[in-house]
Amino acid sequence: MLTPATLKIYNASAGSGKTSFLVKNYLYLLFKSVHNDEFKRILALTFTNKASEEMRKRILQCIKEFSDLKVSEEYHDFFSYLSKDLNITKYQLSKRAKRILSAILHDFSSFSIRTIDKFTYRTILSFFSKKNIDLEMDTNSFLLKIVDNLLSKLKNSEKWSNILVQFFLEKLKEGKHWDVRNELLKIASLIVEENSFFPMRKIKMYSFNDLIQLKETLLKRTQNFEIKCRKQGEKFFEFLKETSIKKHSFPHSDLPKFFKKLCKGNIFLNPFHKRLEKSIHMERLYCKWIGMDQKIFISKNKEKILFLYRETKSLYEKYISSYLLDKLFLKNLSLLSIIYEIEKEFHFLKEERKIILNAELNQILYERITQETFPHIYEKMGIQYKHYFLDEFQDTSFLQWYNIRILVENALSENGSAMIVGDPKQSIYRWRGGDHKQFLHLISSSSQSYHKQILTIETNFRSYEEIVKLNNSLYQSVSKIFHSPIYKDIYKNSKQKIFKKNGGYVELNFLEKKNYKQYIYLNIKKRIKKLLKQKYKLSDIALLVRRNEEGNFLSEKLIEDGFIVNTSASLLIKNHLEIEIIIHFFYILIKPHCYQKRAFFILLLLQNKLICPIEKDHDFLMKIIFLPLNIFLKKILFKTKSLDFLNNLYRQSLYEIAEQVIQSLGLMNNNKNTSSIYSFLDLIHRSMKNIGNSIVDFLDYWELKKKKESIIVSENIDAIRIMTIHQSKGLQFPVVLIPFTDWNACSKKKEGSWMNVSPHLYHGLNALYLEIESYFQYIEDNYIKNFYEDYLSNIKFDNLNLLYVATTRPIEQLFIFSKNENDQSVSFYIKNFLIEKKLWNEKKFQYSFGREKKFS
């Protein structure tokens, strides 16, 4: 009997050399095999393009250096390890490296190191081998198009118009503003969200009539409960009338107030407050200062009053949980009933454009493979791949792992191998389906078909001693804030060993709240100048932010002060003059009589010396601004003899019009402009595939895309890097500054989530979609309360993971800038850490650890 294969699972904290570890194990498989093309039987899956490129590049570089016997210091340990473990000489290793390198270069497409998304897409393409299917990355724009199409159709439908009006009135009753477009977009988004896949799959099986019947059931159930509560309230006041007991006779009038709430249907939030409960428990039913007759009346009827109260409480506790869920679900049920129409438009538009969405890849593959025991589409892969590497497993979604697990388990059953690497503390993609609990479950669960080997990579090879020590202490302290034992243990057991001893510097700054942003910037600028004196290059410095707006602010200020900056904010194509000129030209074409647009366009050209008239600028502007459009354009842009120039222009494609503006004004004459222009032309080319050749449609498309479209630049330029913490994941920098370390640990952003429920109460549905509201914390129902607390724990874990990712990027120096905030901010946890260490002083605004680098 064969010994079962082993699934190796590595818990690898930040800076533990995860990429080197994966490369080392990949090389071992290559050189251990007698086949030069063993790489064809290995599939390595990463989370980002950058990670897959890095791994591919390092493997090839290693093999190249081994083959030349010119091994750099970086890869010398790999070379020695392979030579010793495989018991071969360095010359034999070199010869084998040459053969392996030649095999890879002759069949590079089989060198399979790619992202999980690319792997899934390539697998799905095998379904559509006879069709031309494109991948659509911009899910949001696609969903907006669905919503706009749907709105125009629904307006002409009496049935759906009534549904929307009804939903609008329900929102008005709650005193809320309602935007039908945003609400429909929210529901449309649930179709492609991985976190909503299984509940939505169930809901999509229900017809419009099924959901209306469910709504009627819930309305009837909630109304029946409200009637029962109202009857209890009326019974109490009738009783007072019969016994001549006055309302003010009760302590603080609490009991009459309680029953009045029931009469009015004010029962959503717990009406049994502590003072009332205490009075009932002590049977103290009247005020000391009331008249003797009232005391007698109440004493005489005390048992009946207590019975009525306890009867009401028993009724409330019996039905309140179901009532609360019903009321919460009813808020979204009207709109969810439109899901069939959204789904229909969703599939129609996909068919029309011949696309699949990147956001739905995992769902499509899951649907396909669950139809078979070992899916036909995996047969070839099952034969081809024998070894699997899965990186960043904590960010892998449930569907991604389910789709890949079949292949992994098949390889293990045939004496192959599999290695999974992850770190729950770096899980920052829960919003897009990433599930760190899956990694924890994989560690703790058992399997009969293969062994598991759980290992922890404890040493931090990236950061110097003071940074590692600070992070060890900080996150030991942070672990105490969690009620969840899972989250508590993740951070409690996060201590790392130090590799780079004797060095590093950490500085924690708590700044004034007044003019906070400006004050942060002045401190950042001062620190950057000091770092440059310490002989750091600009490219050694990274500024990590939570939100793009913060990055934009810092980028603009630094550029104004003469610093070179490399950031998506500074490199947005919308920020470049030549793009502004082309966009204004398009606006003039669709709004020929908008003289304000014409004037701004002329001034742009004059100020940047792109046209040089003989007259003074003002005279030239007044001379041509009111001319017919055809003549206006010829005067400014084009030296042409065509009498029908404007019609000729309209016959051209959008791309050709843009090219003509660029050529006529010499926008490409400045070499610095070429990258922004080419990026813009590429955007036009891509847009024409989706929206056609309409200038109006393109300008709408531009308004959606302009805040994201940026120029791709070389990493080699010497510039300060500004990026979000999400973008920094997997990277490292000599110096890291975190300027606004004050984001809310419990996020005030409203979100939706699915709550598991009993199917027999909801016509077979086993999950309800709820919009999370802050008042959930005041609901005295254990099920809802636990649901809300779990939700808050997840949010808190997400936000503290962001802090962990940020503080583990630096190699030599770390600077944190924040303000002395309340307990909802991540800065509070830094302050609390200092309090625990007995370092906090309300008059002290800066704390440092280690020795600052001296000026050279």
Rounded CA-CA distance 702/115 in Å is 29
Instruction: List, in sequence order, the alpha helices (H) in 69-179.
Output: 73-85, 90-106, 116-125, 139-154, 158-173
Cβ-based neighbours of 543, under 8 Å, separated by 6 or more? 524, 551, 554, 720, 721, 722, 723, 737, 738, 739
Rounded CA-CA distance 361/370 in Å is 14
Looking up tokens 């502590």 gives 274
Which tokens sit at 434? 């990433």
Predicted confidence at residue 290, as pLDDT, reads 82
Rounded CA-CA distance 467/812 in Å is 8
Nearest to 416 by CA among 444, 381, 446: 381
Q: Is 713 left (phi over 0), alpha (psi -120 to 50) or beta?
A: beta
Provide the 3-class DSSP secondary structure of residue 355.
strand
Predicted confidence at residue 1, as pLDDT, reads 39
Residues in the chain: 856
Q: 605 with 580: CB under 8 angstroms?
A: no
Predicted confidence at residue 748, as pLDDT, reads 62
Q: Where are the domains of the chain?
A: 6-125+379-457, 137-353, 475-570+716-744+804-850, 573-705, 752-794
Q: What is the CA radius of gyration of the chain?
A: 33
Q: 435 with 27: CB under 8 angstroms?
A: no
Distances in Å between the Cα of 243 and the Cα atoms of 283, 294, 489 are: 18, 10, 60
Through-space distance between the first and last CA atoms of the chain, rounded to whole angstroms: 67
Pick the CATH number of 6-125+379-457 from 3.30.530.20, 3.40.50.720, 3.40.50.300, 3.50.30.60: 3.40.50.300
Q: Which helix (H) or strand (E) holds 717?
A: none
Please calculate the CA angle 641-647-652 and round it to the nearest 5 degrees.
100
Please determine whether the domains at 6-125+379-457 and 475-570+716-744+804-850 fall in the same fold group of CATH: yes
Rounded CA-CA distance 846/757 in Å is 50
Cβ-based neighbours of 25, under 8 Å, separated by 6 or more? 389, 419
Rounded CA-CA distance 199/336 in Å is 12
Predicted confidence at residue 87, as pLDDT, reads 94
Rounded CA-CA distance 9/820 in Å is 40
Instruction: List, in sequence order, the alpha helices (H) in 445-541.
Output: 465-478, 485-492, 516-533
CB-count exposure of residue 433 (10 Å: 0-12, 13-18, 19+): buried
Residue 536 is classified by DSSP as -
Total-model pTM: 0.83
Looking up tokens 């449309």 gives 188
Predicted confidence at residue 642, as pLDDT, reads 47
Residue 855 is classified by DSSP as P
CB-count exposure of residue 370 (10 Å: 0-12, 13-18, 19+): exposed
Rounded CA-CA distance 601/574 in Å is 15
Q: What is the pLDDT of residues 738-758, one digit of tens each?
A: 999 999 888 666 778 899 999
Rounded CA-CA distance 626/602 in Å is 12
Provide the 3-class DSSP secondary structure of residue 742.
coil
Please calculate the CA angle 128-132-134 and round it to the nearest 5 degrees.
95
Give the Cβ contact number of residue 579 at 10 Å.
23
Distances in Å between the Cα of 762 and the Cα atoms of 1, 140, 210, 217, 707 are: 51, 31, 11, 8, 43
Identity of the amino acid at 45: L
Helices (H) and strands (E) in the chain, counts: 34, 19
Rounded CA-CA distance 361/261 in Å is 51
Which tokens sit at 683? 């955007």
Q: Which helix (H) or strand (E) holds 574?
A: none
Provide the 3-class DSSP secondary structure of residue 731.
coil
Write out residues in the chain with pLDDT < 70, as ranges: 1-4, 129-131, 159-160, 163-164, 166-178, 373-374, 568-571, 637-648, 670-673, 710-715, 747-749, 822, 856
Residue 692 is classified by DSSP as T
Provide the 3-class DSSP secondary structure of residue 456.
strand
Architecture of domain 475-570+716-744+804-850: 3-Layer(aba) Sandwich (3.40)
Q: 451 with 6: CB under 8 angstroms?
A: yes
Cβ-based neighbours of 219, under 8 Å, separated by 6 or more? 330
